[in-house]
Amino acid sequence: MNLSGQRRSLAQIASRAFTSGLGVAVILLSWEGAVSRLDVPLYVLPAPSIIGAQLVRDWALLVRHLQPTVIEAVGGFAIGNGIATALAALFVYAPPVSRVMFPVAIALRTIPLVAITPLLVVWLGNGYAPKIAIAALISFFPTLVNMTRGFGAATPDQLELMHALAATPWQVFRLVRWPASLPYLFAALRIASTSSVLGAIVAEWIGSDRGLGYLIVAATFEYRVARLWATIAVATGTAVVAFLAVVAAERAVVPWARNTVGA
């Protein structure tokens, strides 16, 4: 990309960031004004200013509980997407395996997280393992579906050319199927980046003494409404950061395919 192209790209990013920030500011100001004007009780809906003050007071506590949630989300994200990508490649090269395993993957997706989490705690203990497993499960299915499509997105002309050049299956995969799948991969990763955070937090609701999920449950039972909303704000911010990290990686790795594949 030349200098003028880089400047246009940076200007577009800045414009989008300003628009998004303006939208958030309008929402927060409207929220603050509505709560104040309607005299909404704190236990129903605290004002953003109260939540912000609670964030400042509880910052050390929130950071301490954020750390295990991030470890669980990142671990589940990596494991779930890695397994899904490998399995999708197997599906492409072994269609009978796809016909057998894909219904199993769908069945796993339909199991409610709150139902399977206690079982994973019994099987894997009360440490990081069951939370990482839940984050991996919730990240797994979107990537499996997208990568199965992505590995099959190579055109017949491309495959015919590789056959004419006597390419090995590994060369076909590396030079044709893998590049063709990258837009599909990042479309899935955008979903999985936020889902893994959600999965880790849900897993922490059961059998945990740390993490943002635990803090949400504790604040709920203690009727600490402002702390509850402050924790939700941190969880939301963490998911947004994860999403933006994937978007940034996508811009660096597949800039030519931006916005060409729907998630």
Quick check: 153 pLDDT over 90?
no
Cα 147 vs. chain centroid, distance in angstroms?
16
Domain 46-257: give its CATH code.
1.10.3720.10
The CA angle 10-12-17, to the nearest 5 degrees, is 95
Residues in the chain: 263
Question: Which pair of structure tokens corresponds to residue 24?
Answer: 């958030």
Supply the pTM of this predicted model: 0.86
| Whole-angstrom distance, CA of residue 208 vs CA of residue 53 | 27
Quick check: 259 pLDDT over 60?
no
Query: Any residues with CB less than 8 A from the CB of 240 and at least 6 apart, and which?
Result: 194
Question: Which pair of structure tokens corresponds to residue 182?
Answer: 């990258």
Supply the pLDDT for residue 200: 93
What is the helix (H) or strand (E) element at residue 131, kind and residue range? helix 128-151
- Give the start-to-end residue ranges of the domains of the chain: 1-40, 46-257
List, for residues 69-114, the tens digit of each pLDDT value.
999 999 999 999 999 999 999 998 888 888 888 888 888 888 887 7
Give which of 189, 181, 166 is closest to 249, Cα–Cα: 189
Residue 211's pLDDT band, with cuts at 50, 70 and 90, is very high
Supply the pLDDT for residue 2: 56
Query: Any residues with CB less than 8 A from the CB of 174 and at least 6 apart, and which?
Result: none
- CA distances, 33 to each of 27, 28, 30, 47, 227 (Å): 10, 9, 5, 8, 21
Cα 219 vs. chain centroid, distance in angstroms?
25
List, for residues 183-203, the tens digit of each pLDDT value.
999 999 999 999 999 999 999
CB-side neighbour CA atoms (13 Å) of 165: 13
Least confident of 78-82, 140-144, 250-254: 250-254
Cβ proximity of 202 and 213 under 8 Å: yes
Task: Output the 3-class SS for 68-102.
Answer: HHHHHHHHHHHHHHHHHHHHHHHHHHCHHHHHHHH
| Whole-angstrom distance, CA of residue 66 vs CA of residue 71 | 9
Residue type, 91: F
Supply the pLDDT for residue 51: 93
